[in-house]
Amino acid sequence: DAKKLVRSPSGLRMVPEHRAARSPFGLDEPPWVPDKECPRCMQCDTKFDFITRKHHCRRCGKCFCDKCCSKKVPLPRMCFVDPVRQCAECALVSQKETEFYDKQLKVLMNGATFFVTLGTSDKSELMVCRLSNNQRYLVLDGDSHYEIEIIQISTVQILTEGFTPGGGNTRAVGMILQYKIPGSEEVMQMKFTAGEDFSCNKKLSASWLAAMHKATKLLYESRDQ
């Protein structure tokens, strides 16, 4: 998908030429709190003057002094080319998301193998599941082929095993995915199960499911914006 470089008050952004091609995990730039509405830092209440200048957090749009908004952190969810100024709270969130973009997104794109069951069928098919390079589709390849648009996914339930009443480690062994068919209100369901045979790398499958769980959280957050 073609992209273009645009300049906003917050900085340079590399965005898709067509809005429909944007990543489903992306966030829109927030409106900035107008200068006249923030005579004081919205964190420490320091009064702004010629010496204490005001700065806007690029993630939340609120107004802060330099001390409370000094960190410049990457913000890939808004497509910024360079790290941008963020308040301490937003910087912490963005830093946590960096792991998703640096590691887990690659895991999702590389894919993993699962037994996939469609709807209420009692038959499953061995399929390689991966996220498309533009992050917009979940692609499933086996004897059959499916492409599920990420924005059409309504719920994701990660299936685990190993839990005991007294506590203990659990591991992801599958997921149940529900999604809508474009142009219809019909909801479809797929069940993904990590295979037990040697052709299925269970550790890779567990890593893929963990990454999918994180992706789901980002997806829900972008919808709530």
Domain boundaries, given as residue ranges, for the chain:
3-95, 111-224
Residue whose entry in the numeric block shows the structure tokens 């998703």: 100
Q: Express as a percent the part of the chain with pLDDT over 90.
A: 62
Q: Do domains 3-95 and 111-224 have the same CATH topology?
A: no
CA distance 32 to 65: 14
Lowest mean pLDDT among 43-57, 142-156, 172-186: 172-186
φ and ψ of 211, to 5 deg: -65, -35
CATH of 3-95, one of 1.10.1040.10, 3.50.50.60, 3.30.40.10, 3.20.20.60: 3.30.40.10
> What CATH number belongs to 111-224?
2.30.29.160
Residue whose entry in the numeric block shows the structure tokens 């993993």: 112
Summarised one tens digit per residue, pLDDT across range 68-82 is 999 999 999 999 999
CA distance 65 to 54: 5
Confidence of residue 198 (pLDDT cuts 50, 70, 90): very low
Q: Is the model more confident about 108 or about 50?
A: 108
